[in-house]
Amino acid sequence: MKFGLRRQIPLAWCLLTRQPGRLAVALAGICFAGMLMFLQLGFRDALFDASIAIHRLFNADVVLISSTSSSSISMEPFPKRRLFQAASWPEVESISPVRWGLLVWKNPETGSPRGILAVGFDPDDDILSLEGLAEQKKGLQLDQRVLYDRLSRPEFGPVEDWLKSGRTVTAEVRNVRVQVDGLVELGVSFGADGNLLTSNRTFNRLLGSADGSSTSIELGLIRLVPGADPKTVATVLKNALPNDVQVLTKSEFLAFEQDYWRSSTSIGFIFNLGAAMGLVVGAVVVYQILFSDVVDHLPEYATLKAMGYSSMNLVTVILQESLLLAGFGYIPAFFAGKGIYGLTRSATNLPIGMSSRMAVFVFAMIFTMCVISGLLAMGKLRDADPAEIF
């Protein structure tokens, strides 16, 4: 019977729209769930994304790190010699030694100390594809000069404002006075809420080397001749070099950092849990609404059954209600999510935004949530017994 397919009274629509109070509660619940999911998952993705913001910029095909390094916040030194050894391979075009570590920076205004991620490199090398670096890095030839990340958290001091107002900005790093020579734009991450770039020499001095030299580095960048395959070269180097270093292609290096935050910390779990909480709260609200809707209309549903409507027809009505709720609850959640991302971006400098993948994913979750709630509420329809309504 083609009964279900032709146009009929839009019962689900009428049930929802003619009970505006109930509809508002349901939509608020769904909107809340959606917002929470956007917030939690957005943060999760943004943080994972931010954790490799600087890694992405490195100008390298293959990198060396110490075999004991586990992430950007625990970069261990290894002998610089390893990098020079690697340079003897014909596929290697050039190398750049890089120093890397969290150093204590004193806020130039208040003097309060805070760990900042410092990266030291030879100012003649082109190690980061970062806007404005090429022009500014010459200044790092001078000792005790640094470039400051203007996206660093404000707790590090009003460096940008002072610099722009023409002041000479100096600050203490590990009790050595340095001068900020310019600004770059890198962004904060889990590991670092501020960044500064400096020369190898200055970095070594900050660590206490009197003449600014060191036999250790934390990161070795290797660029290959055109046409060489990074994967193959990495394997060759891995076998040839002593195992105090790990040899990674650039994409492995990015994955290495992200994997740390994903698997060695509970950050991912916490955000997923937050999103799941939103889902549960939303599901409970929608279930409650649909359930009480069914209970309130039991005699009416029983009447429909007595008239000859099948249980399937009624199930369809509840399902339609949940789909309508999903659709109409998602729209405000989407815009609220966009708003939250905007606020978060301006407050934290995190690279957070509404991606289409996220938009679709949250919609799918809300959709599933509403359908499951609807299916649970349907159980109550069995109580609509047409024999009991007289």
Contacts to another protein from residues 63-102, by CB under 8 A: none
CA atoms of 16 and 26, how far apart (whole Å): 10
307 counts as binding another protein under rule CB under 8 A: yes
> Which span (143-151, 174-182, 300-308, 347-355) binds another protein, by CB under 8 A?
300-308
- Residue 140 tokens read as 């790092």
Tell the burial category of 238 from Cβ atoms under 10 Å away from its Cβ (0-12, 13-18, 19+).
middle
- How far is CA 83 from each of CA 86, 114, 243, rounded to the nearest angstrom? 5, 31, 13
Q: Would you say 210 or 307 has its CB closer to another protein?
A: 307
Q: Would you say 347 or 387 has its CB closer to another protein?
A: 387
297 counts as binding another protein under rule CB under 8 A: yes
Q: Tell the smallest beta-carbon distance from residue 328 to another protein (Å).
A: 17
303 counts as binding another protein under rule CB under 8 A: yes
> Which span (116-124, 160-168, 246-254, 303-311) binds another protein, by CB under 8 A?
303-311
> Which span (8-16, 158-166, 169-177, 369-377) binds another protein, by CB under 8 A?
8-16
* Look-up of token digits 């590990």: 174
Contacts to another protein from residues 241-260, by CB under 8 A: none
387 counts as binding another protein under rule CB under 8 A: yes
Rounded to a whole number of angstroms, the distance between the first and last alpha carbons of the chain is: 29
Q: Tell the smallest beta-carbon distance from residue 386 to another protein (Å).
A: 4
Q: Would you say 14 or 225 has its CB closer to another protein?
A: 14
Contact string 14-33 vs another protein (x = CB under 8 A): xx--xx--------------
Residue 174 near residue 206, CB atoms below 8 Å: yes
CA atoms of 366 and 331, how far apart (whole Å): 11
11 counts as binding another protein under rule CB under 8 A: yes
Q: Would you say 211 or 390 has its CB closer to another protein?
A: 390
Q: Tell the smallest beta-carbon distance from residue 24 to another protein (Å).
A: 15
CA atoms of 58 and 49, how far apart (whole Å): 15
190 counts as binding another protein under rule CB under 8 A: no
H-type alpha helices, the chain: 11-17, 20-50, 53-57, 81-87, 133-136, 159-164, 200-206, 230-240, 250-259, 267-296, 298-307, 311-348, 356-378
- How far is CA 356 from each of CA 38, 72, 275, 371, rounded to the nearest angstrom? 12, 29, 18, 22
Between CA 170 and CA 182, with CA 176 as vertex, the angle to 5 degrees is 35
> Which span (3-11, 33-41, 71-79, 234-242) binds another protein, by CB under 8 A?
3-11
Cα-Cα-Cα-Cα dihedral sign, residues 68, 72, 75, 81: positive
Q: Would you say 74 or 303 has its CB closer to another protein?
A: 303
384 counts as binding another protein under rule CB under 8 A: no
Q: Residue from 132, 299, 339, 379 that binds another protein (CB under 8 A)?
A: 299
Q: What are phi and psi of 61, to 5 degrees?
A: -100, -35
Residue 125 near residue 107, CB atoms below 8 Å: no
CA atoms of 74 and 1, how far apart (whole Å): 69
Neighbours of 69 (CB within 10 A): 20
Q: Residue from 166, 308, 346, 356 that binds another protein (CB under 8 A)?
A: 308
- How far is CA 119 from each of CA 40, 50, 97, 102, 250, rounded to the nearest angstrom? 31, 17, 11, 9, 17
> Which span (4-12, 144-152, 220-228, 372-380) binds another protein, by CB under 8 A?
4-12
Contacts to another protein from residues 309-328, by CB under 8 A: 309-310
What is the size of the binding site for another protein (CB under 8 A)?
Answer: 28
Contacts to another protein from residues 144-163, by CB under 8 A: none
Q: Would you say 11 or 359 has its CB closer to another protein?
A: 11
Q: Tell the smallest beta-carbon distance from residue 359 to another protein (Å).
A: 32
Instruction: State the residues that interact with another protein by CB under 8 A.
Output: 1-3, 6-9, 11, 14-15, 18-19, 297, 299-300, 302-310, 386-387, 389-390
